[in-house]
Amino acid sequence: MVQPQSIVQIADNSGAKLGRIFKVLGSSKKRYASIGELVVLSVQKAEPRKQVKKKDVLFGVVVRQRAPFRRKDGTYIRFDENAVVILDNAKKEPMAGRVFGPIPREIGEAGFQKIISLAPEVV
């Protein structure tokens, strides 16, 4: 569960390291984003000479959250950090070619099959 002003890790090799969420997409009054939901974020920290620069405004999908997330079978899953994968603005595909860390299977159910195929581990 992340909300506006949350600082999140970037879980891909686009060049961004940290981002700050400033809008949760969905409806005008949507307050929190959970796993598999779209957010708008700005890059707070980035690596030099990469395709994403500091202060860039980008779309992303939440792939890990610290708050426990309830699955349909009744079990809960939680991670050590809040993390986002940056998406290409035109389509719902990742901007980068690699994804780091475990990715929950709910990302694939939300329609992000490309992220699942790039993930090293699906939980």
Identify whether the C-beta of residue 106 lies closer than 8 Å to the C-beta of residue 76: no
In a domain, 26, yes or no: yes
Identify whether the C-beta of residue 86 lies closer than 8 Å to the C-beta of residue 10: yes
Q: Give the Cα separation of 59 and 40 in Å (integer).
A: 5
pLDDT tens per residue, range 18-58: 999 999 999 888 999 999 999 999 999 999 999 999 999 99
Question: How many domains does the chain contain in total?
Answer: 1
For residue 90, the domain's CATH number is 2.40.150.20
- 74 Cβ partners below 8 Å, 6+ apart? none
Q: Give the Cα separation of 34 and 46 in Å (integer).
A: 24
In a domain, 24, yes or no: yes
In a domain, 34, yes or no: yes
In a domain, 45, yes or no: yes
- 24 Cβ partners below 8 Å, 6+ apart? 2, 3, 4, 30, 31, 32, 33, 37, 38, 39
In a domain, 1, yes or no: no
- Please, what is the average pLDDT of the chain? 95
Domain that holds residue 53: 7-122
Q: pTM for the complete prediction?
A: 0.93
Q: Residue 90's pLDDT band (boundaries 50, 70, 90)?
A: low
